[in-house]
Structure 1
Amino acid sequence: MGLLQEILFGLVTGSYIAIAAIGFTLIYGIVNMINFAYGEYLTLGAFVGLLASTALPVPLPVAVVVAMVGGGIGSLVLARGFFTPINQTGPVPLLLTSIGLGIALRNVIRLVAGRNARYFETETTTVRFDSVPDLSVGPVDLLGGFFVTTEQLTVVGAAVAVFVAVHLLLTRTNVGIAMRAMGDDEQLARVRGIDTQLVRDSVWILAGVLAGLAGVLMAIQTNVSATTGYSQILQILSAAILGGAGSPYGAIVGAYVIGLVIALSTALLPSGLTGLSTAAAFVILIAVLLVRPSGIAGTEVREA
């Protein structure tokens, strides 16, 4: 395929990774934990959306809203049940608990939903652009024609809407300002009268809503299975660290870097080595951190 087509694939991949990475990095920056169960939150959101669109059935936009609501509620329930009781024990117990919770959730989903992949039924409209200028080197067509589908436009458009909404939340609302204050200094925020437990609950709900949305968008592009979110957790973690752990804006940039690297390396590598595309993204992550340990956004990674 042409270069423009691969860039488009990278933007789509980066979009749903970015949505998930925002939720992941908010948990890290405010709750002060690395939640390895977050991939399963995406899987739960994808299955809730699939169930709503097939069993009820409801239109896809309504199914997305149902997945977001279900993701927010599920995230809060899991946090209250497993993480809130051990908030004061430190990041290591929280990390180990999240790993165990992720394994348990993944196996429960596999037992209930089975191992087979499921697919969203969507009406696809494809627009082709074949009049792109031909800038070729020898036999290789660098640009060539490319196509855009409604699913791809939906994913990118949803990501842009999320970016705007999160920015407005963090900068224009009392809850968002309290989140930023707590992320800077939780003790000082408590002294200033901020209900830190309420802020934690708000972060869990927001992260679950974003996970539900990202799970459905990912499933629209690929499929839904018990490992839908688990297969993406390392890319989400990499995007968060690459952008500067704790920075939602850095997570967005990091996600698009990861998405573009994966897409372009998949196109450039020989067919038998396409599985190394994810490894190429990690190489970029390591290279950036060697030059700038605090990540793209300049936010220092907290010590566990």
Structure 2
Amino acid sequence: MAIPSVTLNSSHKMPVIALGSAGQNLPADVLSRIFLDAIEAGYRHFDTASLYGSEEGIGLAVAEALKLGLVSSRDELFITSKLWVTDAHPDLVLPALKNSLSSKLGLDYLDLYLIHWPIRLKQGDKKVPVDKKDILPFFDMKGTWEAMEECKRLGLVNSIGVSNCTCKKLSQLMEYATIPPAVNQVEMHVAWNQKKLLDFCNEIGVHITAWSPLAANGANWGSIAVMQSAVLKDIASVKGKTVAQVALRWLYQQGVSIAVKTYNKGRMMENLGIFDWELSKEDTEKIQTIPQFRGYQGDMFVSENGPYKTIEELWDGEI
């Protein structure tokens, strides 16, 4: 199954659906078999991060897929990873990237490297929730971004970007970036449509990738706002689709890419079944009536000792 791609402002093409890999503490060999299933199903984009503990599993899957002939070259796959907050410092970016590449993924380059959160913690173990006493009062976004740009100039990444950034933080970044961020990966779904941010990113040429596209149904911080939506259930019934497919199709029609999270091969296939049909104008108008609220507040990054004293400050009022 061919998955459409979007051309980023870096001129590189990115498949519009990625298989996410957060939140599962599984051995690398187990993960690699899951990711091989995904490659067989048609996935070519994998989203990981140094925090997730899944980089090694993805690296093993890439090597095995090449060995088995599931893909003919590394270039057929798009691998995204992220810089964790303990390494969010100008002097730590390149070492963190090299560790992800050589020690975990076993790759020569990443397709996309993102700053995971606009905040810095003391160096130490990568874990969530973070210990608030480790939050540092200042995050050098300018210096950290310059280090990200250097990673791209060295050929270690094809594209660079950010995650969980607001309009204000992106605007500030664009003032000094010599290489603009290609992607801003944020929570986005029908119950948190990010209209203001989407319009702004479209205006400045930054592509949005939606994480938690189904509102993290079943996660310890998620909600049933998407999967139990009466609006989506009605549309799905009429169209003969699942609620998840309607939710993902809506995102696709917003012009964003999607990081889906499932390790079930059947649901992997289901999530790819969104490209040969479309939602009508009437459908999208109904979806616009769904109440809006941010699912993940990010309160673990709020601290009297850190740069964000309140949730409102973390999100610059975009809550």
TM-score normalised by structure 2 residue count: 0.25
Greater strand fraction, Structure 1 or Structure 2 = 2
- Report which structure shows greater RCO (CA 8 Å, sep ≥6): 1
Greater helix fraction, Structure 1 or Structure 2 = 1
TM-score normalised by structure 1 residue count: 0.26
